[in-house]
Structure 1
C-alpha cells in the first residue's frame, strides 16, 4: 500500500517530468525559452494539478467534471427497480457508481506517465495558435495528439480494479441488465475516465491562463500574462 501511495504521489505531482527540465526551443522569449516551452509548461502543470486530484480514491467521484457515469444500460427507472428487487437495496446504483469511479482512480496511474511523456515529446507545429487559443486550446491539442492512448493504457487497470473491488455486485447487476457485459462495462469506464482526465486538465489550463501570475513560473507569466 505504501508503495502504491508513493507511486501515485510521484505521478500526481509529475516529478518524473519536472517543469524546469523541459527542453528550450528557439523562439524569442529570451533565456532559451519559447512558445513551445510555454505550451509544454502549461500542459505539464495542468496535468500535475489534475492528477493530484484524480489519483485519490474519491478523486473521480468527487469531481463533477471527471466523474464516471454508469452506462446507459444500467440507467433508467426500469433497471433501477429491477436491481432493487434483485439485490434487495435501493442504493445499488450509488454503490455501483462509486465502484466504477474507484476503478477509474485506481487505473488512472497508468495514464499519468503517458500524458507526461506525450507532452514532453509531441510535435507542436503552431504554438502561436495554441497560445492565443481558447481556455483549453492546449488540452484539446493534447487530446487530439494522444488519440486513444489513455483509454488503451487504462483499460487493463479498470478491469483489474473492478474485479478486485467487486464483492459480487457487478456480476449480479450485469445478470439483471441487458446489452452490456463485463468487458463492455470495462471499456465504458476506461473511455469515460479518459474523457474526465482531459476535462480536468482543461479546467486547470483555463485557470492558469486566467491567472498565470499565480503559478510563479516566469515563462507562463511572460507568455500568457501578455494576453490578458
Structure 2
C-alpha cells in the first residue's frame, strides 16, 4: 500500500530527528553537543520508521508471524455462527480481512507514534539506552499504546462493517448477536501490540549493529553506553 500524504509528512518530520551531530542542540556530553535523551528519540524514530515501512505495505501484518492478527473473540453470536467461525477456512478468510484493515489502521497510527516520540519525557535516558534490546520501545509502548489503539479503532470498526460482514453474510443470514464494537476493539488492541513488537524488533536490530544505521550520533551513543 502506498503511504498517505499524512504518513509521508510525519515520517519526513520524524527523520528530522536524524540529523548530523553538528546540527543537534542540547546539553553538552562527552559524546558531543547533544543530549542522551535525543539519542533515545533518534533510536525510537528510526525503529518506528522501519517498522511502519513494513507494516503499511500490502500484507504487512499478515505476512509476518510476529505481527499477524487472528480472529478476535466474537462473543454473543448465535450458535450457528459460532460453529461456522470455528472452521479454519472461515477463520482464515476473516483473518485476512482483519489484517488488510490493519494496514490502513497502521497508517493512522504512524503520526501518533512519531509525535509521541518527540514529546516523550525521559526520566533516565541513559538507563533506557543501557537497558535490554527493546527498552526504548517498552517505554514508548507504556506511554503511547492507548493512543495508538484509539487512533486505529475507527478503521477497524468501519472495516468490520464492510469486508468482514460481507464474508459472514455469505455464510449465514442470521447475524444478530454479533458485537462488532467488541471485535473491532479487540482487533485494534491486537494491532497496537503488533506495532510495538515490530518497533521492538527494529530497535533490537539497531542495537545489535548500530554502525549499519549510518548515524554517527546513534552509533556513538549505543557503543559508548555499554549496550
Decide: shared fold, TM above 0.5: yes
Gap runs ≥5 in structure 1: none
Residue 202 of structure 1 deviates from its aligned partner by: 0.3
Aligned residues: 219
Alignment of structure 1 residues 1-228 onto 2, 5 Å: 5-7=3-5, 10=8, 14-18=11-15, 19-20=17-18, 24-73=25-74, 82-83=83-84, 91-166=89-164, 168-170=166-168, 181-226=179-224, 227=226
Distance 2:168 2:152 in 1: 19
CA contact (8 A) 1:73 1:177 kept: no
Report if aligned partners of 1:58, 1:101 keep a CA contact under 8 Å in 2: yes
Deviations 1:185-227 (A, max 9, x none): 1101100000000000000000000100110101111011232
The C-alpha deviation readout for 1:122-152, integer Å capped at 9, x for no partner, is: 1111001101000000000001111410011
In 2: Cα distance, 1:34 partner to 1:79 partner: 60
Q: Is the 8 A contact 1:82 1:176 kept in 2?
A: no
Deviates more, 1:174-183 or 1:25-34: 174-183
Structure with more helix by fraction:
1
Of stretches 21-30 and 213-222 in structure 1, the one that deviates more from structure 2 is: 21-30
- Using the TM superposition, give the Cα deviation of residue 31 of structure 1 relative to its aligned residue in structure 2, in angstroms: 3.9
Shift of 1:163: 3.0
Moved over 4 A (4+): 78-81, 171-180
Distance 1:147 1:92, change over 3 A: closer
- In structure 2, relative to structure 1, the CA distance for the partners of 1:213 and 1:169 (3 Å cut) is same
Residue 5 of structure 1 and its aligned partner are, at CA, apart by 3.9
Answer whether contact 1:73 1:179 (CA < 8 A) is retained. Answer: no
Whole-angstrom CA distance in 2 between matches of 1:143 and 1:176? 39
Deviates more, 1:64-73 or 1:149-158: 64-73
Deviation (angstroms), 1:96: 0.6
5+ residue gaps, structure 2, are none
**RMSD of aligned residue pairs (Cα, Å):** 3.1
